Amino acid sequence: MMEHVKGLRCVRCGAEYPAAPGAAVCRCGGMLDVVYDYEVIRRKVSKDWFARCRDDSMWRYRAFLPVEDSTPAPALRVGWTPLYAQPRLAEKLGLGSLWVKDDGLNPTASLKDRASALAVAKATEAGADTIACSSTGNAASSLAGNAAAAGLSTYIFVPARAPQGKVAQLKVFGATVISVQGNYEDTFRLSAEAIDRYGWYNRNAAINPYLMEGKKTVSLEICEQLGWEAPDFVAVSVGDGCTIAGVWKGFKDLYAAGFIRRLPRLLSVQAEGCCPLNRAIHENAPWRPMEENTLADSIAVGVPRNPDKALHAIRESNGVCVEVSDKEILDTIRLLGRECGVFGEPAGVAGTAGLRKAAELGLIPSGASVVTIVTGNGLKDVANGIKAAGEPIKAAPDMASLLRAFAENGIRP
């Protein structure tokens, strides 16, 4: 039994459930949240314990995760990604200090690996040998990779429009990939029917209460890497809301267990062309669906899956909401590449684009300490990298031509 887990509680109606491996949503339709016994966590781990811990993955935080002690950690090394101090960029943006958390260095190159690793662990506990989900992007490829490493089968439902590159990742990892000739709504519905019919383990983030617990490990790492301090702000790009909700849960758990003494404020960044959650905060009104007009495909979510937890997190943290244009996203791909040597995908750098804008607009006090999370690797979307970065200089293979090309392009070596 999971001594440190009290159970599951509905975020909407408060109903309580035991923490069964196959748990889904509340009978009222609300999402479930994992409730911990922080006394037990404190007996298991301490700052000293972590200082000696040699596990360089998210599984160093097992005491904070809803898994049995006996459940093996999945095979791929997920988490413990680098947190880079960026003094030059902090100065440019007028911040006191800035760190970039590069979560594109996870095994399948996105933060979603944290959730998929947990899904694989829970599927193992449930005795399942097959996991399924519907997704067009990083959730799918991370599930396929993490499941393959664990010897589990996957069924992945993608809409016909899914980009070829992400389909390639899925196929390389050996998933059975069903291209549904319809839109995303059709795809989700068919996956739900098939999951019911075949009894596969369900890794749809809108259903499974454990995935967010995997995602929260990014915050646990940030605090440990900062010497058990939270920054003033954490900037994060927001699509269906699961990631920002997971980020907030991580800080709250650490606070409740006595590992940090204050909580950060969240900076929720959405695309101008698709920002239903931020709009709800700005208008202080219920969220409404929106079109999906942005090149940042991973956060192009007009009907977010996890609005309750996400909106609650932003409000509870006294958060700031900012929207960014596609141009600002592309500019930030270049900025992070040039200043930090970090190449993010469009949705991956949107948080940083929003930070830049928030700093310019004076929404973040100068002198603040900020962590920005890059959630996915730019190699997942090379086309937009090219769009962001421009063309090389051309020169014939002799010194005179090189000098002419330098002069024409205003380059003075």
Site for its own copies in 15-54 (CB under 8 A): none
Name beta bridge partners: 369.
97
Please state the closest distance from residue 391 (CB atom) to its own copies, in A.
8
Tell me the window of 167-175, 213-221, 295-303, 364-372 that interacts with its own copies (CB under 8 A).
167-175
In this structure, are residues 144 and 154 in contact, taking their beta carbons and an 8 Å threshold?
yes
Which residue from 261, 194, 235, 226 is spatially nearest to 336, judged by alpha carbons? 235
- Range 113-152, binding its own copies (CB under 8 A): 130, 144-151
Which residue from 48, 64, 53, 59 is spatially nearest to 4, judged by alpha carbons? 64
Under rule CB under 8 A, residue 388 binds its own copies = yes
Under rule CB under 8 A, residue 80 binds its own copies = yes
In this structure, are residues 358 and 267 in contact, taking their beta carbons and an 8 Å threshold?
yes
Q: Which of 48, 70, 127, 181 binds its own copies (CB under 8 A)?
A: 181
Please state the closest distance from residue 206 (CB atom) to its own copies, in A.
18
d(CA 47, CA 88): 30
Q: Which of 40, 178, 207, 295 binds its own copies (CB under 8 A)?
A: 178
Please state the closest distance from residue 381 (CB atom) to its own copies, in A.
10
Q: Which of 95, 119, 167, 222 binds its own copies (CB under 8 A)?
A: 167
Toward its own copies, which CB reaches closer, 189 or 252? 189
- Range 318-347, binding its own copies (CB under 8 A): 333-334, 337-343
Toward its own copies, which CB reaches closer, 84 or 255? 84
Which residue from 246, 236, 244 is spatially nearest to 210, judged by alpha carbons? 246
Under rule CB under 8 A, residue 285 binds its own copies = no
Under rule CB under 8 A, residue 72 binds its own copies = no
Count interface residues toward its own copies (CB under 8 A): 83
Which residue from 144, 134, 139, 140 is spatially nearest to 182, judged by alpha carbons? 134
Phi and psi at residue 377, to the nearest 5°: -80, 140
| Residue 389: Cβ within 10 Å count | 15
Q: Which of 72, 165, 289, 365 binds its own copies (CB under 8 A)?
A: 165
Name beta bridge partners: 266.
234
Please state the closest distance from residue 298 (CB atom) to its own copies, in A.
15
Q: Within 13 Å, how many C-alpha atoms sit on residue 70's CB side? A: 4
Toward its own copies, which CB reaches closer, 274 or 336? 336
Give me the sheet containing 32-36, strands edge to edge.
Answer: 16-17, 5-10, 32-36
d(CA 195, CA 179): 16
Give me the sheet containing 265-271, strands edge to edge.
Answer: 83-85, 97-102, 369-374, 233-237, 265-271, 320-324
Under rule CB under 8 A, residue 297 binds its own copies = no
Q: Which of 75, 295, 303, 363 binds its own copies (CB under 8 A)?
A: 75
Tell me the window of 228-236, 268-276, 286-294, 373-381 that interacts with its own copies (CB under 8 A).
373-381
d(CA 267, CA 269): 6
Please state the closest distance from residue 26 (CB atom) to its own copies, in A.
26
Q: Residues 196-235 vs its own copies: string with x where CB under 8 A?
A: -xx-x-----------------------------------
Toward its own copies, which CB reaches closer, 169 or 352? 169
**Unique residue bearing structure tokens 């970039």:** 100
d(CA 59, CA 50): 12
Tell me the window of 18-26, 105-113, 273-281, 293-301 that interacts with its own copies (CB under 8 A).
105-113
Q: Residues 394-413 vs its own copies: string with x where CB under 8 A?
A: xxxxxx--x--x-----x-x
